[in-house]
Structure 1
Amino acid sequence: MLRGLYTAAAGLITQQRRHDTVTQNIANLNTPGYKQETAVQRSFPEMLVAMTGGYADNPNRTVGRLNTGVFAEESLSPYVQGPLKQSGQTTDFALVSDIIVNDPATGQPVRFDPSGKYVDANGQVTYKPEAFFTVRDETGNVRYTRDGHFKLDGLGTLRTSTGSEVLDAVGNPITLTGAVKDLKVNGQGELLNGDHMPTGITLGISIIDQPYQLVREGDGNFRLDTQSGATARRLQAGDNVELKQGYLEGSNVDATQSMVDMMAAQRAYESNQRVVQFYDASLDKAVNQVGRV
Protein backbone atom coordinates (compact mmCIF):
# COMPACT_ATOMS: atom_id res chain seq x y z
CA MET A 1 0.00 0.00 0.00
CA LEU A 2 2.82 2.39 0.85
CA ARG A 3 4.41 1.71 -2.53
CA GLY A 4 1.30 3.04 -4.25
CA LEU A 5 1.37 6.10 -2.00
CA TYR A 6 4.98 6.80 -3.01
CA THR A 7 4.10 6.35 -6.68
CA ALA A 8 1.27 8.87 -6.45
CA ALA A 9 3.52 11.31 -4.57
CA ALA A 10 6.13 11.03 -7.32
CA GLY A 11 3.42 11.84 -9.84
CA LEU A 12 2.44 14.93 -7.83
CA ILE A 13 6.01 16.25 -7.81
CA THR A 14 6.44 15.55 -11.53
CA GLN A 15 3.26 17.37 -12.53
CA GLN A 16 4.12 20.30 -10.28
CA ARG A 17 7.48 20.69 -12.03
CA ARG A 18 5.79 20.34 -15.41
CA HIS A 19 3.30 23.04 -14.44
CA ASP A 20 6.13 25.33 -13.25
CA THR A 21 7.97 24.88 -16.56
CA VAL A 22 4.92 25.78 -18.62
CA THR A 23 4.22 28.77 -16.38
CA GLN A 24 7.75 30.03 -16.98
CA ASN A 25 7.24 29.72 -20.74
CA ILE A 26 3.99 31.68 -20.63
CA ALA A 27 5.60 34.39 -18.48
CA ASN A 28 8.29 34.84 -21.17
CA LEU A 29 5.98 35.01 -24.19
CA ASN A 30 7.18 38.56 -24.92
CA THR A 31 10.83 38.11 -23.89
CA PRO A 32 13.14 38.69 -26.90
CA GLY A 33 15.15 35.62 -27.87
CA TYR A 34 13.59 33.40 -25.19
CA LYS A 35 13.71 29.66 -25.89
CA GLN A 36 10.94 27.64 -24.32
CA GLU A 37 11.62 24.75 -21.99
CA THR A 38 10.03 21.32 -22.21
CA ALA A 39 9.92 19.09 -19.14
CA VAL A 40 10.99 15.52 -19.95
CA GLN A 41 9.14 12.89 -17.90
CA ARG A 42 10.48 9.38 -17.48
CA SER A 43 9.52 6.40 -15.37
CA PHE A 44 11.63 5.01 -12.58
CA PRO A 45 13.40 1.73 -13.44
CA GLU A 46 11.00 -1.19 -13.36
CA MET A 47 11.37 -3.84 -10.68
CA LEU A 48 11.02 -7.57 -11.27
CA VAL A 49 8.66 -8.98 -8.63
CA ALA A 50 9.09 -12.63 -7.59
CA MET A 51 7.47 -14.85 -4.97
CA THR A 52 9.39 -15.50 -1.77
CA GLY A 53 7.11 -18.30 -0.58
CA GLY A 54 4.65 -20.68 -2.19
CA TYR A 55 5.24 -24.24 -3.31
CA ALA A 56 8.83 -25.40 -3.24
CA ASP A 57 8.38 -27.45 -6.42
CA ASN A 58 7.25 -24.40 -8.43
CA PRO A 59 10.26 -23.43 -10.60
CA ASN A 60 8.66 -20.23 -11.88
CA ARG A 61 8.45 -17.75 -9.01
CA THR A 62 8.32 -14.64 -11.22
CA VAL A 63 5.22 -12.50 -10.72
CA GLY A 64 5.98 -9.75 -13.26
CA ARG A 65 7.32 -6.25 -13.59
CA LEU A 66 6.31 -3.39 -11.33
CA ASN A 67 6.51 0.29 -12.32
CA THR A 68 7.19 2.65 -9.44
CA GLY A 69 6.13 5.99 -10.90
CA VAL A 70 7.54 8.86 -12.95
CA PHE A 71 9.88 11.78 -12.37
CA ALA A 72 10.81 14.97 -14.20
CA GLU A 73 14.34 14.15 -15.30
CA GLU A 74 15.35 17.34 -17.13
CA SER A 75 14.14 20.32 -19.13
CA LEU A 76 15.10 20.64 -22.79
CA SER A 77 14.97 23.77 -24.94
CA PRO A 78 14.20 23.54 -28.66
CA TYR A 79 16.42 26.21 -30.24
CA VAL A 80 14.16 26.83 -33.22
CA GLN A 81 13.97 30.26 -34.82
CA GLY A 82 11.55 32.67 -33.19
CA PRO A 83 9.47 35.19 -35.15
CA LEU A 84 11.10 38.49 -36.07
CA LYS A 85 9.55 41.74 -34.89
CA GLN A 86 10.55 45.10 -36.34
CA SER A 87 11.37 47.60 -33.59
CA GLY A 88 13.04 50.38 -35.59
CA GLN A 89 15.70 50.82 -32.90
CA THR A 90 19.28 50.91 -34.17
CA THR A 91 20.51 49.06 -31.07
CA ASP A 92 18.17 46.10 -31.63
CA PHE A 93 19.49 43.08 -33.51
CA ALA A 94 18.12 39.71 -34.52
CA LEU A 95 19.92 36.63 -35.81
CA VAL A 96 18.42 34.59 -38.63
CA SER A 97 20.22 31.26 -38.51
CA ASP A 98 19.79 28.32 -40.89
CA ILE A 99 23.16 26.57 -40.84
CA ILE A 100 23.47 23.69 -43.29
CA VAL A 101 25.11 20.44 -42.17
CA ASN A 102 26.04 17.71 -44.64
CA ASP A 103 25.60 14.02 -43.86
CA PRO A 104 29.10 12.44 -43.79
CA ALA A 105 27.76 9.25 -45.37
CA THR A 106 25.90 10.76 -48.31
CA GLY A 107 27.35 14.26 -48.54
CA GLN A 108 23.82 15.64 -48.83
CA PRO A 109 22.37 18.33 -46.57
CA VAL A 110 20.81 16.95 -43.42
CA ARG A 111 17.06 17.44 -42.98
CA PHE A 112 16.48 18.33 -39.35
CA ASP A 113 13.13 17.77 -37.65
CA PRO A 114 11.19 20.73 -36.20
CA SER A 115 13.16 20.45 -32.95
CA GLY A 116 16.51 20.73 -34.77
CA LYS A 117 17.53 17.07 -34.48
CA TYR A 118 18.50 14.49 -37.09
CA VAL A 119 18.95 10.74 -36.56
CA ASP A 120 20.70 8.78 -39.30
CA ALA A 121 20.21 5.12 -40.23
CA ASN A 122 22.80 4.04 -37.63
CA GLY A 123 21.09 5.93 -34.81
CA GLN A 124 23.68 8.70 -34.73
CA VAL A 125 22.11 11.94 -33.51
CA THR A 126 23.11 15.29 -35.04
CA TYR A 127 21.86 18.61 -33.69
CA LYS A 128 21.46 21.70 -35.80
CA PRO A 129 24.10 24.35 -34.96
CA GLU A 130 22.73 27.70 -33.88
CA ALA A 131 24.15 31.24 -33.81
CA PHE A 132 24.31 33.32 -30.62
CA PHE A 133 25.53 36.75 -29.61
CA THR A 134 28.68 36.61 -27.48
CA VAL A 135 28.50 38.65 -24.26
CA ARG A 136 30.40 38.97 -21.00
CA ASP A 137 28.53 39.14 -17.70
CA GLU A 138 29.37 41.21 -14.62
CA THR A 139 31.69 38.50 -13.27
CA GLY A 140 33.79 38.46 -16.45
CA ASN A 141 32.49 35.13 -17.82
CA VAL A 142 31.71 34.69 -21.51
CA ARG A 143 28.08 33.83 -22.14
CA TYR A 144 25.79 33.41 -25.17
CA THR A 145 22.37 34.90 -25.84
CA ARG A 146 19.75 35.35 -28.56
CA ASP A 147 18.36 38.47 -26.92
CA GLY A 148 19.53 41.27 -29.22
CA HIS A 149 17.81 44.08 -27.30
CA PHE A 150 21.02 46.07 -26.72
CA LYS A 151 21.65 49.58 -25.41
CA LEU A 152 24.51 52.08 -25.10
CA ASP A 153 25.66 53.18 -21.66
CA GLY A 154 27.12 56.59 -20.81
CA LEU A 155 30.58 55.56 -22.00
CA GLY A 156 29.31 54.31 -25.35
CA THR A 157 29.72 50.63 -24.46
CA LEU A 158 27.18 48.32 -26.08
CA ARG A 159 25.40 46.23 -23.45
CA THR A 160 22.52 43.79 -23.23
CA SER A 161 19.27 44.71 -21.52
CA THR A 162 20.59 43.06 -18.34
CA GLY A 163 23.93 44.92 -18.35
CA SER A 164 26.30 42.35 -19.89
CA GLU A 165 28.97 43.67 -22.28
CA VAL A 166 28.48 42.81 -25.94
CA LEU A 167 31.74 41.43 -27.32
CA ASP A 168 33.22 41.75 -30.79
CA ALA A 169 34.64 38.94 -32.91
CA VAL A 170 37.96 38.93 -31.02
CA GLY A 171 36.43 39.02 -27.54
CA ASN A 172 36.69 42.73 -26.72
CA PRO A 173 33.80 44.92 -25.52
CA ILE A 174 32.27 47.09 -28.24
CA THR A 175 32.57 50.78 -27.41
CA LEU A 176 31.26 53.45 -29.77
CA THR A 177 32.29 57.06 -29.93
CA GLY A 178 29.41 58.38 -32.07
CA ALA A 179 25.75 58.84 -31.30
CA VAL A 180 23.22 56.03 -31.42
CA LYS A 181 21.95 57.16 -34.80
CA ASP A 182 25.44 56.50 -36.24
CA LEU A 183 25.35 52.81 -35.25
CA LYS A 184 25.12 50.93 -38.53
CA VAL A 185 25.71 47.21 -38.94
CA ASN A 186 25.53 45.11 -42.10
CA GLY A 187 24.18 41.59 -42.44
CA GLN A 188 27.54 40.02 -41.52
CA GLY A 189 27.74 41.94 -38.24
CA GLU A 190 30.34 44.47 -39.38
CA LEU A 191 30.02 47.95 -37.87
CA LEU A 192 29.94 50.71 -40.49
CA ASN A 193 30.96 54.34 -40.29
CA GLY A 194 29.05 57.34 -41.60
CA ASP A 195 30.12 56.52 -45.16
CA HIS A 196 28.79 52.96 -44.76
CA MET A 197 32.31 51.54 -44.83
CA PRO A 198 33.48 48.75 -42.47
CA THR A 199 35.23 50.01 -39.36
CA GLY A 200 37.06 46.74 -38.65
CA ILE A 201 34.79 45.94 -35.70
CA THR A 202 32.43 42.98 -35.99
CA LEU A 203 29.76 41.86 -33.57
CA GLY A 204 30.79 38.66 -31.83
CA ILE A 205 28.56 35.96 -33.28
CA SER A 206 29.33 32.44 -32.08
CA ILE A 207 28.17 29.15 -33.58
CA ILE A 208 27.26 26.48 -31.04
CA ASP A 209 27.52 23.04 -32.64
CA GLN A 210 25.64 21.30 -29.81
CA PRO A 211 23.08 23.86 -28.60
CA TYR A 212 21.31 21.26 -26.45
CA GLN A 213 24.42 21.14 -24.29
CA LEU A 214 24.02 24.78 -23.29
CA VAL A 215 23.15 25.51 -19.68
CA ARG A 216 20.52 28.17 -19.03
CA GLU A 217 21.66 30.74 -16.46
CA GLY A 218 18.83 33.25 -16.51
CA ASP A 219 18.56 36.76 -17.98
CA GLY A 220 18.58 35.13 -21.43
CA ASN A 221 22.19 33.96 -21.05
CA PHE A 222 23.58 30.48 -21.66
CA ARG A 223 26.94 28.94 -20.87
CA LEU A 224 28.82 26.03 -22.39
CA ASP A 225 28.90 22.74 -20.52
CA THR A 226 32.52 21.87 -21.18
CA GLN A 227 32.18 18.43 -19.58
CA SER A 228 29.62 17.43 -22.23
CA GLY A 229 31.96 18.29 -25.10
CA ALA A 230 30.00 21.31 -26.34
CA THR A 231 32.08 23.75 -28.38
CA ALA A 232 31.69 27.29 -29.73
CA ARG A 233 33.35 28.76 -32.80
CA ARG A 234 33.36 32.11 -34.53
CA LEU A 235 31.05 32.86 -37.41
CA GLN A 236 32.71 31.84 -40.67
CA ALA A 237 32.16 32.71 -44.30
CA GLY A 238 29.58 30.34 -45.73
CA ASP A 239 27.55 30.01 -42.55
CA ASN A 240 23.95 30.76 -43.41
CA VAL A 241 23.53 33.42 -40.72
CA GLU A 242 22.20 36.94 -41.25
CA LEU A 243 22.13 39.82 -38.78
CA LYS A 244 19.14 42.14 -39.06
CA GLN A 245 19.35 45.57 -37.46
CA GLY A 246 16.19 47.18 -36.14
CA TYR A 247 14.60 43.78 -35.46
CA LEU A 248 14.18 41.56 -32.43
CA GLU A 249 13.70 37.81 -32.35
CA GLY A 250 10.58 36.98 -30.42
CA SER A 251 10.04 34.08 -28.08
CA ASN A 252 9.51 30.67 -29.71
CA VAL A 253 6.90 29.69 -27.12
CA ASP A 254 3.68 28.26 -28.57
CA ALA A 255 1.02 29.93 -26.43
CA THR A 256 -1.77 27.55 -27.45
CA GLN A 257 0.25 24.41 -26.78
CA SER A 258 1.45 25.86 -23.48
CA MET A 259 -2.14 26.31 -22.29
CA VAL A 260 -2.95 22.73 -23.31
CA ASP A 261 0.11 21.45 -21.42
CA MET A 262 -0.82 23.47 -18.36
CA MET A 263 -4.35 22.06 -18.26
CA ALA A 264 -3.03 18.51 -18.77
CA ALA A 265 -0.57 18.96 -15.90
CA GLN A 266 -3.34 20.28 -13.66
CA ARG A 267 -5.65 17.35 -14.45
CA ALA A 268 -2.86 14.82 -13.87
CA TYR A 269 -1.97 16.51 -10.58
CA GLU A 270 -5.59 16.28 -9.42
CA SER A 271 -5.72 12.59 -10.34
CA ASN A 272 -2.62 11.80 -8.30
CA GLN A 273 -4.01 13.89 -5.46
CA ARG A 274 -7.17 11.75 -5.35
CA VAL A 275 -5.02 8.60 -5.26
CA VAL A 276 -3.13 9.97 -2.24
CA GLN A 277 -6.43 10.76 -0.53
CA PHE A 278 -7.66 7.21 -1.23
CA TYR A 279 -4.54 5.66 0.31
CA ASP A 280 -4.82 8.01 3.28
CA ALA A 281 -8.40 6.88 3.89
CA SER A 282 -7.40 3.22 3.54
CA LEU A 283 -4.54 3.58 6.01
CA ASP A 284 -6.83 5.39 8.43
CA LYS A 285 -9.30 2.52 8.31
CA ALA A 286 -6.54 -0.08 8.70
CA VAL A 287 -5.06 1.63 11.75
CA ASN A 288 -8.10 2.99 13.55
CA GLN A 289 -10.80 0.42 12.69
CA VAL A 290 -9.33 -2.91 11.60
CA GLY A 291 -6.46 -2.68 14.07
CA ARG A 292 -8.90 -2.10 16.93
CA VAL A 293 -10.54 -5.51 16.50
Structure 2
Amino acid sequence: MFRGLYTATSGMMSHNRNQQVLTNNLANANTPGFKQDQTIMRAFPAQLIKAVEAGNSTNSGSKIPPGQTTIGTLNTGVYTQEGIPSFIQGALKETGNKTDVSLMSELLPINPDTQKKGALVFAVRLDTNEIRYTQNGQFTVDQDGYLTTGEGYRVLNQNQQPILVNSTEFEVQDNGQIVLQDGTSTNRLWLGYTEEPEQLIKEGQGLMRWGGNQEDIPQFFEDVQLLNNTSTFVKQGFIEQSNVDLTQTMTKMMNTYRGFEANQKVIQAYDRNMEKTVNEIGRV
Protein backbone atom coordinates (compact mmCIF):
# COMPACT_ATOMS: atom_id res chain seq x y z
CA MET A 1 0.00 0.00 0.00
CA PHE A 2 2.75 2.44 0.90
CA ARG A 3 4.58 1.77 -2.33
CA GLY A 4 1.93 3.69 -4.23
CA LEU A 5 2.23 6.52 -1.73
CA TYR A 6 5.95 6.82 -2.44
CA THR A 7 5.33 6.66 -6.19
CA ALA A 8 2.80 9.50 -6.04
CA THR A 9 5.19 11.53 -3.87
CA SER A 10 7.99 11.15 -6.41
CA GLY A 11 5.54 12.33 -9.07
CA MET A 12 4.77 15.49 -7.08
CA MET A 13 8.46 16.19 -6.54
CA SER A 14 9.21 15.65 -10.22
CA HIS A 15 6.43 17.96 -11.39
CA ASN A 16 7.51 20.57 -8.86
CA ARG A 17 11.06 20.55 -10.23
CA ASN A 18 9.76 20.76 -13.78
CA GLN A 19 7.61 23.74 -12.80
CA GLN A 20 10.66 25.53 -11.36
CA VAL A 21 12.53 25.12 -14.66
CA LEU A 22 9.56 26.38 -16.68
CA THR A 23 9.12 29.35 -14.33
CA ASN A 24 12.77 30.29 -14.78
CA ASN A 25 12.34 30.09 -18.58
CA LEU A 26 9.30 32.35 -18.39
CA ALA A 27 11.08 34.86 -16.14
CA ASN A 28 13.90 35.15 -18.70
CA ALA A 29 11.70 35.43 -21.78
CA ASN A 30 13.01 38.97 -22.35
CA THR A 31 16.66 38.29 -21.44
CA PRO A 32 18.91 38.68 -24.52
CA GLY A 33 20.73 35.49 -25.47
CA PHE A 34 18.90 33.37 -22.88
CA LYS A 35 18.53 29.69 -23.78
CA GLN A 36 15.52 27.91 -22.37
CA ASP A 37 16.09 24.77 -20.32
CA GLN A 38 14.35 21.54 -21.25
CA THR A 39 13.59 18.77 -18.76
CA ILE A 40 12.76 15.11 -19.21
CA MET A 41 10.81 12.95 -16.77
CA ARG A 42 12.26 9.48 -16.41
CA ALA A 43 10.95 6.47 -14.53
CA PHE A 44 12.88 4.66 -11.84
CA PRO A 45 13.54 0.97 -12.64
CA ALA A 46 10.34 -1.09 -12.43
CA GLN A 47 10.15 -4.06 -10.09
CA LEU A 48 9.07 -7.46 -11.40
CA ILE A 49 6.51 -9.07 -9.08
CA LYS A 50 6.24 -12.84 -8.93
CA ALA A 51 4.19 -15.21 -6.78
CA VAL A 52 6.11 -18.08 -5.22
CA GLU A 53 4.11 -21.32 -5.21
CA ALA A 54 4.92 -24.05 -2.75
CA GLY A 55 5.80 -27.46 -4.15
CA ASN A 56 3.18 -30.23 -3.89
CA SER A 57 3.51 -33.97 -3.46
CA THR A 58 2.25 -36.40 -6.06
CA ASN A 59 0.40 -39.65 -5.33
CA SER A 60 3.63 -41.52 -5.76
CA GLY A 61 5.22 -39.45 -3.01
CA SER A 62 7.57 -37.49 -5.24
CA LYS A 63 7.98 -33.79 -4.55
CA ILE A 64 7.18 -31.14 -7.16
CA PRO A 65 9.67 -28.27 -6.82
CA PRO A 66 8.27 -24.83 -5.97
CA GLY A 67 7.62 -22.52 -8.89
CA GLN A 68 7.10 -18.84 -9.63
CA THR A 69 4.26 -17.15 -11.45
CA THR A 70 4.81 -13.70 -12.92
CA ILE A 71 2.15 -11.26 -11.77
CA GLY A 72 3.43 -8.11 -13.45
CA THR A 73 5.61 -5.07 -12.86
CA LEU A 74 5.41 -2.31 -10.27
CA ASN A 75 6.64 1.17 -11.11
CA THR A 76 8.61 2.80 -8.32
CA GLY A 77 8.24 6.45 -9.29
CA VAL A 78 9.68 9.10 -11.57
CA TYR A 79 12.27 11.83 -11.43
CA THR A 80 13.02 14.95 -13.47
CA GLN A 81 16.33 15.05 -15.25
CA GLU A 82 18.18 18.33 -14.75
CA GLY A 83 17.41 21.02 -17.30
CA ILE A 84 19.45 20.95 -20.51
CA PRO A 85 19.67 24.25 -22.43
CA SER A 86 18.28 24.37 -25.94
CA PHE A 87 20.75 26.23 -28.16
CA ILE A 88 18.33 27.00 -30.96
CA GLN A 89 19.00 30.57 -32.01
CA GLY A 90 16.45 33.12 -30.85
CA ALA A 91 14.96 35.84 -33.05
CA LEU A 92 17.14 38.86 -33.82
CA LYS A 93 16.06 42.31 -32.71
CA GLU A 94 17.52 45.42 -34.31
CA THR A 95 18.60 48.03 -31.76
CA GLY A 96 20.94 50.25 -33.76
CA ASN A 97 23.38 50.31 -30.83
CA LYS A 98 26.98 49.81 -31.92
CA THR A 99 27.73 47.94 -28.69
CA ASP A 100 25.08 45.30 -29.44
CA VAL A 101 26.44 42.29 -31.32
CA SER A 102 24.47 39.17 -32.20
CA LEU A 103 25.97 35.76 -32.88
CA MET A 104 24.87 34.11 -36.13
CA SER A 105 24.95 30.45 -35.07
CA GLU A 106 22.05 29.72 -37.41
CA LEU A 107 24.34 30.27 -40.41
CA LEU A 108 26.88 27.67 -39.31
CA PRO A 109 27.29 24.62 -41.55
CA ILE A 110 26.34 21.11 -40.51
CA ASN A 111 29.28 18.80 -39.94
CA PRO A 112 28.84 16.03 -42.57
CA ASP A 113 30.60 13.51 -40.32
CA THR A 114 28.53 14.07 -37.17
CA GLN A 115 25.42 15.69 -38.67
CA LYS A 116 25.63 18.34 -35.96
CA LYS A 117 25.31 22.09 -36.22
CA GLY A 118 27.43 23.70 -33.54
CA ALA A 119 27.04 27.00 -31.73
CA LEU A 120 29.06 30.17 -31.30
CA VAL A 121 29.91 31.85 -28.00
CA PHE A 122 31.68 34.97 -26.80
CA ALA A 123 34.41 34.73 -24.14
CA VAL A 124 34.65 36.99 -21.08
CA ARG A 125 37.03 37.17 -18.14
CA LEU A 126 35.81 37.10 -14.55
CA ASP A 127 37.31 39.08 -11.68
CA THR A 128 38.96 35.81 -10.61
CA ASN A 129 40.74 35.73 -14.02
CA GLU A 130 38.68 32.69 -15.08
CA ILE A 131 37.19 32.54 -18.55
CA ARG A 132 33.48 32.08 -19.09
CA TYR A 133 31.25 31.98 -22.17
CA THR A 134 28.09 33.84 -23.10
CA GLN A 135 25.71 34.26 -26.02
CA ASN A 136 24.40 37.60 -24.77
CA GLY A 137 25.97 40.23 -27.03
CA GLN A 138 24.38 43.23 -25.33
CA PHE A 139 27.69 44.87 -24.45
CA THR A 140 28.74 48.25 -23.12
CA VAL A 141 31.94 50.25 -22.65
CA ASP A 142 33.26 50.76 -19.12
CA GLN A 143 34.94 53.88 -17.69
CA ASP A 144 38.37 52.59 -18.76
CA GLY A 145 37.26 52.17 -22.38
CA TYR A 146 37.03 48.37 -22.39
CA LEU A 147 34.22 46.42 -24.01
CA THR A 148 32.28 44.64 -21.25
CA THR A 149 29.08 42.74 -20.59
CA GLY A 150 26.21 44.41 -18.77
CA GLU A 151 27.56 42.94 -15.52
CA GLY A 152 31.01 44.45 -16.07
CA TYR A 153 32.93 41.39 -17.30
CA ARG A 154 35.43 42.28 -20.02
CA VAL A 155 34.93 40.75 -23.45
CA LEU A 156 37.99 38.99 -24.89
CA ASN A 157 39.74 39.26 -28.25
CA GLN A 158 41.43 36.65 -30.45
CA ASN A 159 44.26 36.37 -27.90
CA GLN A 160 41.78 36.10 -25.02
CA GLN A 161 42.73 39.57 -23.78
CA PRO A 162 40.34 42.44 -22.93
CA ILE A 163 39.30 44.62 -25.85
CA LEU A 164 40.05 48.35 -25.57
CA VAL A 165 37.70 50.39 -27.77
CA ASN A 166 37.85 53.75 -25.89
CA SER A 167 34.37 54.76 -27.08
CA THR A 168 31.13 53.37 -28.47
CA GLU A 169 32.04 54.57 -31.96
CA PHE A 170 33.46 51.41 -33.50
CA GLU A 171 32.47 48.96 -36.19
CA VAL A 172 32.26 45.19 -35.93
CA GLN A 173 32.67 43.33 -39.20
CA ASP A 174 30.96 40.04 -40.03
CA ASN A 175 34.04 38.05 -39.00
CA GLY A 176 34.28 39.81 -35.61
CA GLN A 177 37.04 42.26 -36.61
CA ILE A 178 36.73 45.53 -34.67
CA VAL A 179 37.49 48.80 -36.47
CA LEU A 180 37.92 51.76 -34.13
CA GLN A 181 36.89 55.35 -34.79
CA ASP A 182 40.41 56.27 -35.94
CA GLY A 183 40.43 53.43 -38.48
CA THR A 184 42.79 51.11 -36.59
CA SER A 185 41.91 47.46 -36.41
CA THR A 186 43.97 45.31 -34.05
CA ASN A 187 41.28 43.42 -32.16
CA ARG A 188 38.88 40.72 -33.19
CA LEU A 189 36.14 39.28 -31.04
CA TRP A 190 37.02 35.84 -29.70
CA LEU A 191 34.27 33.76 -31.24
CA GLY A 192 34.32 30.23 -29.92
CA TYR A 193 32.80 27.28 -31.75
CA THR A 194 31.64 24.00 -30.25
CA GLU A 195 29.67 21.08 -31.63
CA GLU A 196 28.57 20.14 -28.12
CA PRO A 197 26.94 23.26 -26.64
CA GLU A 198 24.98 21.02 -24.25
CA GLN A 199 28.24 20.66 -22.31
CA LEU A 200 28.01 24.33 -21.32
CA ILE A 201 26.73 24.76 -17.77
CA LYS A 202 24.82 27.88 -16.79
CA GLU A 203 26.19 29.91 -13.90
CA GLY A 204 23.79 32.87 -13.91
CA GLN A 205 24.07 36.40 -15.33
CA GLY A 206 24.11 34.90 -18.80
CA LEU A 207 27.45 33.17 -18.19
CA MET A 208 28.33 29.55 -18.86
CA ARG A 209 31.32 27.38 -18.04
CA TRP A 210 32.58 24.37 -19.93
CA GLY A 211 31.59 21.12 -18.26
CA GLY A 212 32.81 18.64 -20.86
CA ASN A 213 36.20 17.19 -21.74
CA GLN A 214 38.99 19.72 -22.10
CA GLU A 215 39.88 18.42 -25.57
CA ASP A 216 36.39 19.43 -26.74
CA ILE A 217 36.46 22.94 -25.24
CA PRO A 218 35.20 25.73 -27.59
CA GLN A 219 37.83 26.74 -30.14
CA PHE A 220 38.49 30.07 -31.83
CA PHE A 221 36.55 29.86 -35.09
CA GLU A 222 39.62 30.38 -37.30
CA ASP A 223 41.08 27.15 -35.90
CA VAL A 224 38.04 25.15 -37.05
CA GLN A 225 38.46 23.85 -40.60
CA LEU A 226 34.71 23.29 -40.98
CA LEU A 227 34.11 27.07 -40.81
CA ASN A 228 36.58 28.07 -43.54
CA ASN A 229 33.76 28.86 -45.99
CA THR A 230 31.58 30.69 -43.47
CA SER A 231 31.71 34.46 -43.88
CA THR A 232 29.19 35.83 -41.37
CA PHE A 233 29.59 35.10 -37.68
CA VAL A 234 28.22 38.25 -36.00
CA LYS A 235 25.88 41.11 -36.78
CA GLN A 236 26.34 44.54 -35.20
CA GLY A 237 23.36 46.60 -34.09
CA PHE A 238 21.28 43.49 -33.30
CA ILE A 239 20.75 41.40 -30.19
CA GLU A 240 19.63 37.80 -30.07
CA GLN A 241 16.45 37.51 -28.08
CA SER A 242 15.56 34.65 -25.77
CA ASN A 243 14.48 31.46 -27.53
CA VAL A 244 11.68 30.90 -25.00
CA ASP A 245 8.33 30.16 -26.66
CA LEU A 246 5.81 31.84 -24.35
CA THR A 247 2.76 29.93 -25.60
CA GLN A 248 4.49 26.57 -25.36
CA THR A 249 5.92 27.36 -21.93
CA MET A 250 2.54 28.42 -20.51
CA THR A 251 0.93 25.25 -21.89
CA LYS A 252 3.63 23.09 -20.30
CA MET A 253 3.19 24.91 -16.99
CA MET A 254 -0.55 24.14 -16.96
CA ASN A 255 0.07 20.49 -17.82
CA THR A 256 2.69 20.26 -15.08
CA TYR A 257 0.27 21.76 -12.57
CA ARG A 258 -2.40 19.21 -13.52
CA GLY A 259 0.13 16.39 -13.11
CA PHE A 260 1.10 17.69 -9.67
CA GLU A 261 -2.56 17.97 -8.68
CA ALA A 262 -3.32 14.42 -9.89
CA ASN A 263 -0.53 12.95 -7.76
CA GLN A 264 -1.70 15.05 -4.83
CA LYS A 265 -5.17 13.52 -5.09
CA VAL A 266 -3.65 10.04 -5.11
CA ILE A 267 -1.86 10.81 -1.84
CA GLN A 268 -5.09 12.16 -0.35
CA ALA A 269 -6.87 8.95 -1.34
CA TYR A 270 -4.15 6.89 0.36
CA ASP A 271 -4.48 9.09 3.45
CA ARG A 272 -8.24 8.47 3.64
CA ASN A 273 -7.77 4.73 3.19
CA MET A 274 -5.17 4.57 5.96
CA GLU A 275 -7.42 6.61 8.26
CA LYS A 276 -10.28 4.22 7.59
CA THR A 277 -7.99 1.24 8.24
CA VAL A 278 -6.92 2.59 11.61
CA ASN A 279 -10.31 3.82 12.81
CA GLU A 280 -12.63 1.10 11.52
CA ILE A 281 -10.81 -2.08 10.64
CA GLY A 282 -8.51 -1.75 13.65
CA ARG A 283 -11.51 -2.01 16.02
CA VAL A 284 -12.34 -5.59 14.97
Q: CA deviation at 1:170?
A: 0.8
For structure 1, which runs of at least 5 residues remain unmatched after alignment?
A: 105-124
* 1:279 partner amino acid: Y
2:218 matches 1:232: yes
Q: What is residue 107 of structure 1 aligned with on the other side?
A: none
2:139 matches 1:150: yes
Q: Residues of 1 paired with 2:257 and 2:85: CA distance?
A: 22
From 130, 150, 162, the equivalent of 1:161 is 150
Say if 1:127 and 1:47 are closer, same or farther in 2 by CA, change over 3 A.
Answer: farther
The answer on whether the counterparts of 1:50 and 1:62 sit within 8 Å (CA) in structure 2 is yes
Number of residue-to-residue matches in the alignment: 270
Say if 1:210 and 1:126 are closer, same or farther in 2 by CA, change over 3 A.
Answer: farther
Say if 1:55 and 1:126 are closer, same or farther in 2 by CA, change over 3 A.
Answer: farther
Q: Residues of 1 paired with 2:153 and 2:4: CA distance?
A: 49
What is the DSSP-based 3-state SS (H/G/I as helix, E as strand, rest coil) of the residue aligned with 2:22?
helix
Q: What is residue 206 of structure 1 aligned with on the other side?
A: 192
Say if 1:165 and 1:290 are closer, same or farther in 2 by CA, change over 3 A.
Answer: same
The more displaced of 229-238 and 82-91 is 229-238
What is the DSSP-based 3-state SS (H/G/I as helix, E as strand, rest coil) of the residue aligned with 1:226?
coil
Q: TM-score, normalised by structure 1?
A: 0.87
From 176, 179, 189, the equivalent of 1:192 is 179
Q: What is residue 74 of structure 2 aligned with on the other side?
A: 66
Question: C-alpha deviations, 1:78-132, integer Å up to 9, x for none?
Answer: 101110001111111101113213433xxxxxxxxxxxxxxxxxxxx75421001
Q: Residues of 2 paired with 1:208 and 1:88: CA distance?
A: 29
Question: C-alpha deviations, 1:119-174, integer Å up to 9, x for none?
Answer: xxxxxx75421001111122221111110111111101111012211000110011
Q: Post-superposition, which runs of at least 4 consecutive aligned residues in structure 1 deviate over 6 A?
A: none
Q: CA deviation at 1:186?
A: 0.8
Alignment of 1:74-93 (within 5 A): 74-93=82-101
Say if 1:128 and 1:240 are closer, same or farther in 2 by CA, change over 3 A.
Answer: farther
Say if 1:87 and 1:139 are closer, same or farther in 2 by CA, change over 3 A.
Answer: same
Say if 1:49 and 1:229 are closer, same or farther in 2 by CA, change over 3 A.
Answer: farther
Say if 1:209 and 1:277 are closer, same or farther in 2 by CA, change over 3 A.
Answer: same
2:161 matches 1:175: no
For structure 2, which runs of at least 5 residues remain unmatched after alignment?
A: 57-63, 223-227
Q: Residues of 2 paired with 1:283 and 1:151: CA distance?
A: 62
2:261 matches 1:270: yes
The more displaced of 73-82 and 255-264 is 73-82
Q: CA deviation at 1:218?
A: 0.9
Say if 1:126 and 1:230 are closer, same or farther in 2 by CA, change over 3 A.
Answer: farther
From 197, 220, 223, the equivalent of 2:206 is 220
Point out the structure with max Rg over C-alpha: 2
2:117 matches 1:100: no
Percent identical? 36
Q: TM-score, normalised by structure 2?
A: 0.89
* 2:203 partner amino acid: E
Q: CA deviation at 1:240?
A: 5.6
The answer on whether the counterparts of 2:157 and 2:187 sit within 8 Å (CA) in structure 1 is yes
Say if 1:267 and 1:174 are closer, same or farther in 2 by CA, change over 3 A.
Answer: same
